[in-house]
A and B are shown apart, each in its own frame.
Chain A
Amino acid sequence: MNRFLSSRNLGGWLLVAPLVAVLAVFLVLPIVMIVIVSFWQTTEFSIVPAFDLANYEFLFGSSVTYDVFLNTFRYAAITWALTLGIGFTVSWFLAFHVRSPTTQIALALLCTVPFWTSNIIRMISWVPFLGRNGLANQGLLSMGVIEQPLEWLLFSDFSVILAFVHLNTVFMIIPILNSMMRIDRSLIEAARDAGASPFQIMTNVVIPLCKPGIMIGSIFVLTLVMGDFITVRFMSGSQSANVGRLISNDVGLLQYPSASATSVVLLLTVLLVVAMMLRLVDIRKEL
C-alpha cells in the first residue's frame, strides 16, 4: 500500500487527473451507456430500461446487416490499399529523392495543409468536379473520349472511395514518411553495394523498416473509414450504406437501443482489427 502511494505514483496521477477525468466522463461512461442501452426496449415515445436481446436478434437476423458490414469492409479494404500505395510512393519520393531538407519540409507541409480544412467542404468540392455537367465530364466530352456524360462519377461507390482516399491519404503519408526518414542511409548503400536491385532494396530493406509507420497509418485509415457515416451518405447521394449510416439512420428515427446494438457490434469489430494490428507494432516505442 505504501509503495502504491509513493510520491512517484502520486505525481503521475495528479498530472494525468484531468486527462482521466475527461476520458472517464466523455468516453468510458458513454460507451458503457451504449452497451447498457443496447439491451433496452423502444416504445412509441421513449426508450425504457430492460434486459432484452431483441435488438441483437433483429440485427443478426436481418440480411441487411450482413450486406452493410460487408460493404463497410469493402470500403475499408479498397481505401486502405489505395492510401497505402499512394502514401508509400509519395513518402518514398519525399524521403529518398528530394535532397534539400527545406524542400522536403515544404513539400510535406503541402501534403498536410488540406488536413487543416473542413472534411465537409472537401467533400462538397468534388460535386462541381464530378457531376453530370461537371469539369470531369466536360473535359472528357470535349476531348472526345466519351459521347455521353458518365453517370457513375458522382453519387456512386466510385465517388465514395475517391473521397475516402482524398480525405485520408495524409494519415498514411505522415507516419510512413516519419519511419522512412529514420532509416539509416548507409543500410541502403550497403544493400546497393551487395548488389541489390532497387526493387530488392525496397522489399528487403525499406519496407521492413517502415513497418511501424505503415501499421500506424493503416490503423488510422481503417478506423476512420470503418467508423465513417457522413462521407458515405454525402458522396453516395444516400444510395450506399455502411455501418455508420445504419447507426445514424436509427438515431434519426430515435431508435436509440437499435442504434446502440449496432454500435456495440461496430465497436467490437474495430477494436478487433486494431488489436490485431497492435500485435505487430509497439506504438509507444515508435513515436
Chain B
Amino acid sequence: MDRRPRSFYLLSLFFGIYVLFLYGPTITIGILSFQGPTGGLTFPMRGASMTWFSELFQQQAVGDIWGSFRRSLTLGLMVMVTTVVVSVMGGLAFRKRFAGSGLLFYLVIAALVIPSILVSLGVGLVFSQAGLRTHWAGSGFGAQLTWTLPFGLLVMFAVFNRFNPAYEEAARDQGASPWQTVWHVVIPIIAPSLLGVALFGFTLSYDEFARTLLTSGSRNTLPLEIYGMTTNSRHR
C-alpha cells in the first residue's frame, strides 16, 4: 500500500473534530443526567446520583411523561407501518409513467420543502373550521405522514432505480401472476431497504415537533412534553 499523503492526516483531523462536535454535547447531557439532587443543567456537577432517573418513575407533579412516551411510541409505529406500505406502493407505481405522475412527483417534493409549521398551522385550521377536534392519532398522524411519506418515497425511487428487472421477467416467465411477482420476488429483494424506510418513518415521527405542535390536540407527544419541561426549568 502506498504512503498516505499529508492531506489524509489533515482531513482525518477535520473528520475527528466534526465527529466530536456531533457527539460532544449529547455525551455531556448523558453525564449530566446523573447530576446530584441539587444540581441543574449546568456544570460543575453537584455530586452524582440516580435522583433524576428515579423521579421519572414516580408520580409527576406536572405533565405526563409516560403517557406522552406511550403516545409517541404508538404514533411512531402507526407512521412506520403506513410509511412502508404507502411508499412501496408509490415506488412501484412510479416505475412506469402514468398520467399525472410528473405533477405528483412535484407535489411530493413540495411536501418535503414546505416548512413544517405551515403544515401544522394549516391542518390545525382545517380541523377547527370543519368543527373537528385535533387528536395526535388523527390530525397529528396525518401531519407527520406529509413528512415521512416523501422521505420513504425518495428511498424507494433510489431502490427501484437500481433494481434489476430480470428477476421479475424470470418470475413472469415461470408463470407468476403480477401479485405473486411482487410478493415473492420484489419484496424479498428490497426487504433491507424497507427496514431503512421503517426506521426512517419511526424516528422521524418519534422526534417530530413542529408538525405535531398544533395538531396533537390536548395530549402531548414526547418531544412536546420534553420541550415543555425545559421551558419550565428555565424559570427555576
Contact = CB atoms under 8 A, between A and B. Distances in A.
Contacts of B42: 127-128, 131, 133-134
Contacts of B14: 89-90, 93
A190 interface: no
A263 B15 CA distance: 38
Interface in A1-55: 4, 8-9, 11-13, 15-16, 18-20, 22-23, 25-31, 33-34, 37
Interface of A is mostly: helix
Contacts of A260: 121, 125
A219 B105 CA distance: 16
Interface string B195-217: 00001000100110110011000
A248 B121 CA distance: 9
A93 B85 CA distance: 36
Interface stretch (A62-70, A109-117, A203-211): A109-117
Interface stretch (B20-28, B49-57, B164-172, B185-193): B20-28
A189 B143 CA distance: 49
Interface string B2-24: 00100110011011001101111
Contact of B93 (A16, A26, A118, A125): A16
Chain B, interface SS category: helix
A22 B146 contact: yes
A153 interface: no
B176 interface: no
Contact of B29 (A18, A31, A128, A223): A128
Contacts of A75: none
A115 B23 CA distance: 11
B230 interface: yes
Nearest to A250: B121
Most chain A CB inside 10 Å of its own CB: which residue of B26, B129, B158, B230: B26
B118 to A, nearest CB: 5
Given A22-B149, A166-B21, A271-B113, A116 B43 contact: no
Interface in B106-147: 107-119, 121-123, 125-126, 129, 139, 142-143, 145-146
B111 A27 contact: yes
Nearest to B22: A114
A97 B5 CA distance: 9
Given A12-B101, A247-B121, A287 B115 contact: no
Interface of A: 4, 8-9, 11-13, 15-16, 18-20, 22-23, 25-31, 33-34, 37, 86, 89-90, 92-94, 97, 99, 107, 110-111, 114-122, 124-129, 131, 133-135, 138, 166, 169, 198, 219, 223, 226-230, 234, 244, 247-248, 251, 256, 259-260, 263, 266-267, 270-271, 274, 278, 283-284, 287
The 3 closest A-B pairs by CB, nearest first: A227-B115, A30-B122, A12-B98
